[in-house]
Amino acid sequence: MPILVGAILALVINITAYTCEIVRAGIESVPRSQREAGECLGLSPLQVYWHVILVPALERVYPALTSQFILLMLVTSVLSAVGTEDLFGISGNIQALTFRNFEVFLVLWVVYLAMSFLVRAAFTLAGKVMFVRKRRLGTLL
Amino acid sequence: MNSDQINYLLQGAYGTLLLSVLTFVFASILGLVIALMRVSDNTLVRQTAFGYINIIQGTPLLVLMGVCFYGPSILGYSSVPALFAAVLALTVQSSAFLGEIWRGCIESVPQSQWEAAECLGLNRVQRMFKVILPQALRIATPPTVGFMVQIVKNTSFASLVIGFAELSYNAKILNNATFKPFLYFGAAAVLYFIICYPLSWMSLRLERKLTLARN
């Protein structure tokens, strides 16, 4: 098995366990009356599930999901333990060549910080595009 | 697996436990300071804590480990002990997370309690330590115990940069010598589970108890 496949598989297994708990909490936070109101309005079960339950639930837990994905991005540094050529893995080669461990780690620190801010900004932007209701009304659910 | 190898794994488990306990003790102290700074009335203090949390939460633990391990030698302290560097990095990271968890707990104490404490003529320190924190402690116990599991799992990072001999490191050494990865990593996984499961179980139970008490 190629290293990348194994690494991605491990991350997917790990992150799934966390995100599914987050999304579950979101779905459970939708009051039963909302579901019933949706049914009363004559929406089909599929429409109720999508428009009344799933999308509002995702909107509620979106900040938590964002944090989880940033943590995922940071945790990719661990994959260098199995030999992936990510930022952290490559930096190991540079350290071995130059013996300037501390300087390399400082640069890594700045790069990872910048990446985490960029990912957060990207997710915030994506959230604005995805959640139409919030964009139009600007209120919390 | 002979008794020497089992012994070696148990030594690793001891290292993991030692690291976890030390980290939890120091991270609680620092985390409490951060949490109190986050709810301070002074904007500068609040912003400082906010910046600290943002920077630490945006940094991978491995990079923190590297900075804590190689940093002191730039300042003139050559070769810091591995345990010291590992505890320092884990403390810095855990304190940011614990500070944020505890800030939420402090803020979830009802506003009326803060006002009532003020009406009774308590000063700010008395209000915080005699009224708010005892109540926040009850709310904070389940997530804190849950985070202790996270600390235990994070200790496995200590061997990657620093080379501190904890459970996953010893399992790797045994695997390198015997080429039986499933046996030794499996045994390490079981040991981690034995350490972590009681904690998660306790966290879940405390959470249920708290929800019952609230309803």
Report ipTM (2 d.p.).
0.81
Contact: B160, A106; criterion CB under 8 Å: no
CA-closest candidate to residue A66, choices A133, A117, A137: A117
Contact: A112, B73; criterion CB under 8 Å: no
- Of A74 and A134, more confident: A74
pTM: 0.86
Q: How far apart are the C-alpha atoms of B9 and B13, rounded to whole Å?
A: 6
* Phi, then psi, of B60 in degrees rounded to 5: -70, 150
Please give the average per-residue pLDDT across B35-61, as a whole number. Answer: 93
pLDDT at position B119 over 80: yes
User: Which of A21, A87, A101, A119 to probe the B interface (max B CBs under 10 A)?
Assistant: A101
Which chain A residues are within 8 Å of B157, Cβ to Cβ? 78
pLDDT at position B77 over 80: no
Dig out the tokens for A109 from the structure: 């620190």
Contact: B160, A78; criterion CB under 8 Å: yes
Q: How far apart are the C-alpha atoms of A116 and A38, rounded to whole Å?
A: 39
Task: Return the pLDDT at B214.
Answer: 63
Contact: B157, A74; criterion CB under 8 Å: no
pLDDT at position A53 over 80: yes
Which chain B residues are within 8 Å of A122, Cβ to Cβ? none
Task: Return the pLDDT at B160.
Answer: 84
pLDDT at position A34 over 80: yes
3-state secondary structure at position B42: coil
